Amino acid sequence: MQFAHLGRLALIIGAAAVLATPALAQPQMPPKQVGVVEMRLQDVPRVVTLPGRAVAGEQAAIRPRVSGLVTEILYRAGTPLKAGDPMFRLDDTTYAANVTTAEANVASARAAAAQATSAHDRARRLVGSGATVAEVEAAQSTMEQADAALKAAQAALVIAQAELGWTTIASPIDGMASVAAVSVGDLVTASQADALATVTRLDPIDVDMFEPSARMLGVLDDIQAGRLRVHDALKATLTLENGQTYDALGELLAPGFTVSTSTGAVDNRFRFENPDRRLLPGMFLRGRIEMGVTRAFLVSQSAATRDRTGKLTAFVVEDGKTVQRDLTEDGTWMHNWIITGGLAEGDLLVADGLMNLTAGTAVTTVPVSYDDNGVVRSRPTPAAE
């Protein structure tokens, strides 16, 4: 029994010694390592993307200037025409006869004018010896009337010749011709409402781009505040409906000066070369316009997040800990947000290691950079450089 009591006592003493021993320290997690990019202000192109629609630079509705029967259709639909190329021919019998009559009237008036001039000259030489002053004045009046009649006959001849020429209806512009709306034998009348055909110029072609008036006001504010330096000439590129980039550069033809009451947008017209006729009137397009240059920070789109309210945020490192910043963006450039507010020169932006990152996390930083495709690349160490 004594040995049993001694055993229990030893066990109790051993347990008390264990309880009195300090707990072993738990290992501390090292700070999370993140890749950072040092923010620097730089000149960034201000680019806006606008919806657009192609419109014909010129379009002519072909109508007759004289009446008559269509005797020939002189063009093939869908083929290019030059200004002055004949398209339709009308029966010219009546108009050719009118020219002949007008020519005869001119000849008769010219002869009468010559005779009246001779009579006037003769009377003027004989005044005082065989002709009176009254006879000279009468001869002068007759001569002037004959000259007037000659001019009227010549004017009638010009009109007759013009009407004869109008029996051949030509294209007034370069362009592509539509299918004829009349057939041989149809009777057409001068200045009728219905067009015989339409000629549309496709090269160059115009594109209307629609800019929201609110964005336009923002651009004007940036210009006045000195945040945006506008280019002397605005250029634009196009993206086609199939997503391909159109290989041509357009110039601003006419800036808009009215706001649509239905869309709230301003219509700006650009002109593009279209030698292959890939752009057709009515085609929907997206225009990319480089407005100018602004001083801003470039933040990779993978380094910033947007919440449900649309607010853009990113993490920066301050005193070894992460801080979440609200950013003000002004469009995109390449794979980056153009940031005009929320960052300062020299800030360390967290660009890599963002998984499960929260504000206030202790971190260690490693410099990184981005390639042209926006992929994070480690920067070489000074020794490797």
Torsion of CA 203, 204, 210, 211, to 10 degrees: 150
Amino acid at 276: D
Span 226-251, mean pLDDT?
85
Q: Return the minimum-mean-pLDDT range out of 18-22, 133-137, 157-161.
A: 18-22
Span 8-37, mean pLDDT?
61
Alpha-carbon span 188 to 63, nearest angstrom: 9
Looking at domain 59-201, its CATH class is: mainly beta
Alpha-carbon span 365 to 161, nearest angstrom: 89
Q: What is the pLDDT of residue 6?
A: 45
Query: For residue 180, is pLDDT > 90?
Result: yes
373: its two tokens: 């495709």
When comparing pLDDT for 268 and 233, which is higher? 268
What letter does residue 33 receive in the DSSP assignment?
E
**Fold category of 35-55+204-378 in CATH:** Elongation Factor Tu (Ef-tu); domain 3 (2.40.30)
**Beta-bridge partner residues of 131:** 127
Rounded percentage of the chain residues whose pLDDT exceeds 70? 90
Query: Angle CA(156)–CA(114)–CA(142) in degrees, nearest 5?
Result: 85
- At residue 380 the predicted structure's pLDDT band, cuts being 50, 70 and 90, is low
Instruction: Write down how long the chain is.
Output: 385
When comparing pLDDT for 197 and 133, which is higher? 197
- At residue 3 the predicted structure's pLDDT band, cuts being 50, 70 and 90, is very low
Which runs of consecutive H residues, i.e. helices, occur in 291-363? none
Measure CA 383 to chain center: 51
**Ranges for all domains in the chain classified under CATH 2.40.30.170:** 35-55+204-378
| Helix/strand/coil percent split, the chain, to 5 | 25, 40, 35
pTM across the whole model = 0.66
How do residues 41-65 score in pLDDT, each as one tens digit? 988 888 888 899 999 989 999 999 9
Q: What is the pLDDT of residue 55?
A: 93
DSSP string covering 254-301, please? Answer: E---SB-TTT-EEEEEEEE--TT----TT-EEEEEEEEEEEEEEEEEG
CA atoms within 13 A on the CB side of 340: 17
Judged on CB neighbours under 10 Å (0-12, 13-18, 19+), 213 is middle
How do residues 106-132 score in pLDDT, each as one tens digit? 999 999 999 999 988 888 888 777 778
**Beta-bridge partner residues of 268:** 209
Torsion of CA 174, 176, 178, 179, to 10 degrees: 110
How do residues 291-343 score in pLDDT, each as one tens digit? 888 888 999 888 899 888 889 999 999 999 999 999 988 878 888 888 888 99
